[in-house]
Chains A and B, each alone.
Chain A
Amino acid sequence: MTEMEKVGAEDERLARERKKLARDGPKLTGAKLEARLDRAWHRPPGILGWLATVDHKEIGRRYIITALIFLALGGALAALMRIQLAVPDNNFISAQRYNELFTMHGSTMMFLFAVPVMEGVAVYIIPLMLGTRSTAFPRLNAFSYFMYLFGGLMLWVAFALNIGPDIGWFAYTPLSGPQFSPGKRADVWAQMITFTEVSALAAAVVLVATILKTRAPGMTLARMPLFAWAMLVQAVMIIFAMPAVALASSMLISDRLVGTNFFNAYEHGDALLWQHLFWFFGHPEVYIIFLPATGFVSVLTETFCRRPVFAYPVVVLALISTGILAFGLWVHHMFATGLPRVGYSFYTAASMTVAIPTGLQIFCWLATMWDGRPRLQVPMLYVIGFIVTFVIGGLTGVIIASVPLDLELHDTYFIVAHFHYVLIGGAVFPLLGILTYWFPKITGRMMNETLGKIGFWLLFLGFQLAFFPMHFSGLLGMPRRVYTYPAGLGLELPNLLSTIGAFVVATSVALFVVNGVVSLYRGAIAPPNPWGASTLEWATSSPPPVYNFAHIPVVESRTPLWDVAGELPVVTGLRVDEKELLLTTVVAAAPDLREPVPQASLWPFIASVAVGVFFISSIFSPWAIVFGAIPCAIALTAWFWPKEIKRHPEPVIS
C-alpha cells in the first residue's frame, strides 16, 4: 500500500468513527447533557490546575481582582500625596519620594488598573454576552494575564526595594535618558511597559477574534450588543496604539543600555521623538480606557430604562469615529513644545472635533432615559454620576484644546482636574456601576443596595470635593508634580479641600470593597435575570457553568431576552465529550465552523515565566536578549506541540 492509500483508508476509518461521536440535541439535553459537558470542560483541580486554566471566567475574574488591588495601591499613593499637599511647606514626604509617588500612581492607574480592568471585565463577560463557550485563543488569554501580573509585581517590588521609577508616568526624555536618570529606576518603568503592552496586545487579539468569529448564530453585526462594539473598537485601538509605546520604550532602553542615540540631542537624536511616539500611544490610551466605559453605560442605560438604547447606529458610528479621531489628537499634548502654526490649528480643530461623537453618545443616552422608565438603582446612579462628571471634564477638555489657554494652563492642576474628571468620571464611575450590575452574574449573589447607595453618594460628592478645587489651584498657577507649595498664594483652601475630598473618596472605595466582600458571603441569592436585562449573559445560570451554555443560543433580535417568549432558540450538534466552539461568519453570524478548544495547559504559565525572566534580566544586560530568548522559544514550542501525535476522528487540542 502506498502512503496515500494508507492515508485514504485512515480517513475512511475516521469518518466512520466521527458518526459515533456524542453531540447535544433534543435527545441529549438537560441534566444528562450538563453532566457530560461538565466532564469535558472542567479543568484539573489543585494549584497546577489553577495555573493551567484556560476558562475565560477564571481569567477574567483574576484580571478584575488584580486590577482592583492595583487600584487600591495606586489610591494609597494618591492619599499620601494629598496628605503632603494638605498644608503649605509640608515636609511629610521628601521631594524625591514625591517624584516616585506620582510616577507610581500614574503608571499603576493607567497601565495596571484602567486598561487591564476593562479587558478583564470583557474577558469575563464578552463570551457570555455573545452566547459562546470560550474566548478565541484561550491559552493566549491565560498568558496575557500572567504577563500583566508579572509586570505589575515587578514594578511594585522595585518600588518596595527603593528602585521604583521617578520620571513621571510619561517618562519624558532627556530626564529619563542615561544622562539624567542613572541607575535602574527608568529601566524598571520601561520594562513594566513592555510587560503590560505584551499583555494588552494579546488580550486585544483575543477579543477581536472572539467578537468577530464566535458570536451566536443570528447575532449579526447590526444586532451586536453595544458593549461588544465598544470592546471591538477598543481592542483595535490597542492593536494600533500600543506598538508606539513598545517602540518608544525599546528605544529608551537601548539608549540607556547599549548607547544608541535616538533621544540624545548631542548626536542628533531628538527628545521630541519620544513625545511624539509616546503620545501617539498616550492619547488613544485615554479612549482605550473610556470606550469600554461607554459600553458599560449603554448596557446599564438600556437595562435600567427598560428601552433599547436610542439610535443604536449613531452610537456605533460614534464609537468608531471616536476610535479613529483619537489617533489624530496626540500633538495637543505637545502644544507647549512649539509647533508650526498649521499644526496648532489642525490639532486644536481635531481635539474639538472628538467632542462631537462623544456628545452624540451622551445625547443618545439622555434620549433613552427620557423615553424610558429609569429605575434609580445603584448601577443607574453611577450612570447619572458619570454623565454629570464626564461632561464637566469634557468641557474643560474643549477649553484646553485651545492653544492660548493650553499654554497658560499646561502642567498646572487645571490639567490634573481635567483628566481626573474624564478618567474617574468617565471610566471609574461606569466601572463601579457595571461591577455592581455583573456582581450577581459572577458570584450568584446581589450586592447590598443601601451600602451601594451610600457608597455612590460618598464617591460622587467626595470626588467633586477633591477635584473641583483643583481647577482653581491650577488657575492660580499651582504646577503639578511639585512636592509642596508656599503659603500666602491662596492655595491653602483649595488644597485642603482636595485632601479632605480625597479621603472621602478613599472611604467610598473601602465601602465598595466591604460591600463586595460581605455580599459575597451574605448577599441575597440572585434570581436568573435580576435586573430584567436583554442580553444573553443572563440566559444562563449565575455564576455560569464552566461551559457557559448547554446549547448554543440563537439570536433573532437586538434585545434577545426581551423578545423570546419563554423559550430560548438554540442550535445543537456540538460535541459533548470534547471542548468545542461554534464559529460564525464575521458580518451575518451564520454558522461557519466547529472549532476545537484547547485543554488546560501549564505551558502558557511557563512561557510567561520565561518571557518574564527574559524581560527583567534585559534590564541588566543586553546579552539577556540572546540567552533569554532560548527558554521562551522552548516554552512556546511546547505550548503549541500536540501532546499525542495521533489523529482523532475530529481534531482536539491537547
Chain B
Amino acid sequence: MILEPRFTDDVADLPTHKFGPSSLTWWGIIGFMVIEGAAFGLAFAAYFFLMGHEQGWPPEGRKPPDLLAGTLFTIIILLSEIPNTMIKKAAHERDVPMIRLLMPVIIGVGAVLLVIRGFEFNSLNCRWTDNAYASIIWALLLLHTTHILTDWFDTIVLWALMMTPLGYEGRRLVDTDENSMYWRYVWLLWLPIYLMIYWVPRL
C-alpha cells in the first residue's frame, strides 16, 4: 500500500453468514429470478400479442386444453408450499435433522409434479407445429417445466450436501433458505401460466 494505513475499526467479530438480503447468495438468486421473470413477462406479452391476431382463442376448430392434469398440478404445487415453509423455518432454526427429513418429501413432490407435467403436455389438444397459438402455449409450458426440472435437480444436490457434516455449516442453511425462496417463485410463476394455458382459452 502506498499510503500508510490508519487503523480505525476491526471486523474480525462479524459473522460469516446471515439470512436474507445481507448475504450475497440472496442477491445472486434475486438477480436470476429477475432475469427469468423478465423472460416470462415477455413470453406473456408474446402470448397476448399473438392472441390479438386471432378471431377466437383457441383458433376456430380447436379445443382448449383439458383441465384435469393442469388443475391437479396446480393443487399439488400449492400444497408443496407446506413442506417448503417448514424447511425454510427449520433452516432459520438451524434444525438440520428436520431439514434432512423434509427435503426428500419435497423432492418426492417434485417427481410427482414432473410426471403430471408429462400428462399436461399430452392434454393440450395441439402440437407445437399446428399454429402460433399452439407454439406459444407449448413454449409457456416448456419454459415452466425447465424451472421445475432444474429446481428439482438442484434440491437433490442440496439434500445430498445437507446429509454430510457440512449440513451444520451456517452458509448451507442460508442455501436451504434461498432454495425454498426459489421454489416459492417457481410456483408463483405457475399461477399466471395456468390461467393463460387453461382458462384464457375458455373465456
Q: A residues touching B (Cβ–Cβ < 8 Å)?
A: 3-4, 7, 10-11, 23, 25-26, 29, 136-137, 140, 201, 204-205, 208-209, 212-213, 217, 239-240, 242-244, 246-247, 251, 254, 258-262, 264, 267-270, 273, 276-277, 280, 528-529, 539-541, 549-552, 554, 564, 566-574, 582-583, 585-586, 591-596, 633, 637, 640-642, 645-647, 650-651
Q: How far is the CA of A164 from the CA of B169 in the complex (A)?
A: 50
Chain B 18-55: CB-based contact to A (< 8 A → 1; otherwise 0): 10011110011001101110110011011001100110
Which partner residue on chain A sits nearest B158 by CB separation? A640
Q: Add 17 more A-B contacts to A261-B135, A551-B5, A569-B6 (CB < 8 A).
A: A23-B12, A29-B5, A205-B32, A239-B38, A243-B42, A246-B39, A264-B132, A268-B53, A269-B131, A273-B50, A540-B1, A564-B3, A568-B6, A569-B5, A573-B12, A593-B18, A640-B157
**Residue of A243, A276, A564, A646 with most partner-chain B CB within 10 A:** A243
- A243 near B135 with CB under 8 A, answer no
Smallest CB gap from A529: residue in B: B2
Verify B38–A244 contact, CB threshold 8 A.
yes
C-alpha gap A570/B11 in the complex (Å): 11
A592 vs B42: C-alpha distance when bound (angstroms): 36
B110 vs chain A, min Cβ distance (A): 15
Q: Name the residue on B nearest A205 (C-beta).
A: B31
- Of the A-B pairs whose beta carbons lie under 8 Å apart in the complex, a sample of 28, sorted by A's number, is A3-B97, A10-B168, A136-B24, A140-B28, A209-B27, A243-B38, A243-B39, A261-B134, A262-B46, A262-B50, A264-B132, A539-B3, A540-B1, A549-B1, A551-B7, A552-B11, A554-B9, A570-B5, A570-B8, A572-B12, A593-B18, A594-B11, A595-B16, A645-B164, A646-B165, A646-B166, A647-B165, A651-B169
Please determine whether A554 and B8 come into contact, CB atoms closer than 8 angstroms: yes
Hey, which chain B residues are within 8 Å of A239, CB to CB? 31, 34-35, 38
Q: How far is it, in angstroms, between the C-alpha of A106 and the C-alpha of B186 when the chains are bound? A: 37
The smallest C-beta distance from A636 to any residue of chain B, in angstroms, reads 9
Are B24 and A541 closer than 8 Å at their CB atoms?
no
B138 and A280 within 8 A (CB): no
Partner of A583, one of B22, B39, B46, B170: B22
Q: Could you say which of B5, B27, B35 contacts A568, with CB atoms under 8 Å apart?
A: B5
- Kindly provide the distance from the CB of A589 to the nearest chain B CB, expressed in whole angstroms: 13
Number of cross-chain contacts by CB at 8 Å: 211
B27, B53, B165, most chain A CB atoms within 10 A: B27
Q: Could you say which of B10, B13, B45, B134 has the most chain A C-beta atoms within 10 Å of its C-beta?
A: B10
Q: For the complex, what is the distance from the CA of A213 to the CA of B18, rounded to whole Å?
A: 13
Give Cα A530–Cα B7 distance, bound, in whole angstroms: 26
Nearest A residue (CB) for B96: A7
Residues of A within 8 A of B166 (CB): 642, 645-647
Cβ contacts under 8 Å, A254 to chain B: 128, 135, 139
Tell me the smallest distance from the CB of B120 to a CB of chain A, in Å.
18
Q: A243 and B35: CB pair below 8 A?
A: yes
CA distance A243 to B43 in the complex (A): 10
Contact indicator per residue, chain B 173-193, by CB within 8 Å of chain A (1) or not (0)? 000000000000000000000
Once A208-B31, A258-B129 are accepted as A-B contacts, the answer to whether A567 and B3 lie under 8 Å apart by CB is yes
* Contact indicator A585/B9 (Cβ below 8 Å): no
Inter-chain contacts of A260 with B (CB < 8 A): 128-129, 135, 138-139
Q: Are A268 and B131 in contact (CB under 8 A)?
A: yes
List A contacts of B38 (CB < 8 A): 239-240, 243-244
Is the pair B10, A205 in contact by a Cβ cutoff of 8 Å? no
Point out the residues of chain B lying under 8 angstroms from A243, CB to CB. Answer: 35-36, 38-39, 42
Residues of B within 8 A of A269 (CB): 50, 131-132, 135
Minimum C-beta distance from B90 to chain A (A)? 14
Contact B11 A268, beta carbon cutoff 8 Å: no
Which residues does chain A contribute within 8 Å of B119, judged by CB atoms? none
B68 within 8 Å of A (CB atoms): no
> B171 is contacted by which of A267, A591, A651 (Cβ under 8 Å)?
A651
- The 8 Å CB contact of A270, one of B49, B97, B130, is B49
Instruction: Please report which residues of chain B, range 126-166, place their CB below 8 angstroms from some CB of chain A when the two chains form the complex.
Output: 128-136, 138-139, 153, 157, 161, 164-166
CA distance A564 to B97 in the complex (A): 52
B4 CB-CB contact with A under 8 Å: yes
Given A137-B24, A264-B132, A567-B4: A591 touches B46 (CB 8 Å cut-off): no
B59 within 8 Å of A (CB atoms)? yes
**Is B15 at the interface (CB under 8 A from chain A)?**
yes
Collect the chain A residues with CB atoms within 8 Å of residue B28's CB. 136-137, 140, 205, 209
Structural contact, B9 and A591, CB atoms closer than 8 A? yes
Chain A contacts of B161 at CB under 8 A?
A: 641-642
Instruction: Please tell me if B14 contacts chain A, counting CB pairs below 8 Å.
Output: yes
In the complex formed, the residue of A with least CB distance to B11 is: A573
- Name the distance in Å between A16's Cβ and chain B's nearest Cβ: 15
Tell me the count of chain B residues lying within 8 A, CB to CB, of chain A: 63
Which chain A positions have C-beta within 8 A of B134? Answer: 261
Q: Does B17 contact A (CB under 8 A)?
A: yes
- Distance of A633 Cα from B10 Cα, bound (Å): 41
Q: Is the CB of B1 within 8 A of A568?
A: yes
B15 CB contacts on chain A under 8 angstroms:
593-594
- Report whether A268 and B50 are in contact in the complex, using a CB–CB cutoff of 8 Å: yes
Query: Chain A residue with minimal CB distance to B51?
Result: A268
CB–CB A594/B136 < 8 A: no
Nearest first, the 5 closest Cβ-Cβ pairs linking A and B are: A573-B12, A205-B31, A243-B39, A260-B135, A568-B3
Measured in the bound complex, the distance between the Cα atoms of B2 and A550 in whole Å is 10
| Bound-state Cα–Cα, A237 to B160, Å | 36
CB neighbours of B4 from chain A (8 A): 566-568
- The answer, among B6, B128, B136, for a CB contact under 8 Å with A258, is B128
**A286 → B minimal CB distance (Å):** 18
Q: How far is the CA of A435 from the CA of B30 in the complex (A)?
A: 33
Q: Are A201 and B35 in contact (CB under 8 A)?
A: yes
Contact indicator A270/B53 (Cβ below 8 Å): yes
* Given A260-B135, A569-B8, also A267-B14 (CB < 8 A): no
* Beta-carbon contact of A574 and B130 below 8 Å: no
Q: Is A541 in contact with B59, judged by CB distance below 8 angstroms?
A: no
Contacts of A29 in B (CB 8 A): 5
Assess whether B16 is in contact with A650, with CB atoms less than 8 Å apart: yes
Contact assessment for B2 and A595 in the assembled complex, using a CB-CB cutoff below 8 Å: no
* List of B residues within 8 angstroms of A264 by Cβ: 132
**Partner among B12, B16, B130 whose Cβ is within 8 Å of the Cβ of A593:** B16
Q: Considering only CB atoms, which chain B residue lies closest to A137 in the complex? A: B28
A131 to chain B, nearest CB (A): 11
Residues of B within 8 A of A244 (CB): 38-39, 42
A268:B133 contact, CB within 8 angstroms: yes
What residues of A have a CB within 8 angstroms of the CB of B130 in the complex? 261, 267
The answer to whether B31 touches A572, judged by C-beta atoms less than 8 angstroms apart, is no
One of A240, A540, A591, A647 near B2 (C-beta < 8 A): A540
Would you call A208 and B27 a contact (CB within 8 A)?
yes
CB atoms of A550 and B1 under 8 A apart: yes
Which B residues are in CB contact (< 8 Å) with A25? Answer: 7, 10
Q: Which of B7, B23, B45, B138 contacts A26 (CB 8 A)?
A: B7
Q: Are A539 and B24 in contact (CB under 8 A)?
A: no
In the complex the two chains form, what is the Cα distance from A269 to B161 in whole Å? Answer: 46
State in angstroms the CA–CA spacing of A511 and B17 once bound together. Answer: 50
Residues in chain A near residue B43, CB distance under 8 A: 247
In the bound complex, residues from chain B placing their C-beta under 8 Å from that of A247 are: 39, 42-43, 46
- Cα A645 to Cα B172 with chains together (Å): 12
Most chain B CB atoms below 10 A, which of A259, A261, A529: A261
- Chain B residue with the shortest CB-CB distance to A637: B157
Q: Which residues on A sit within 8 Å (CB–CB) of B31?
A: 204-205, 208-209, 239
Report A359 CB to chain B, min CB distance, Å.
Answer: 29
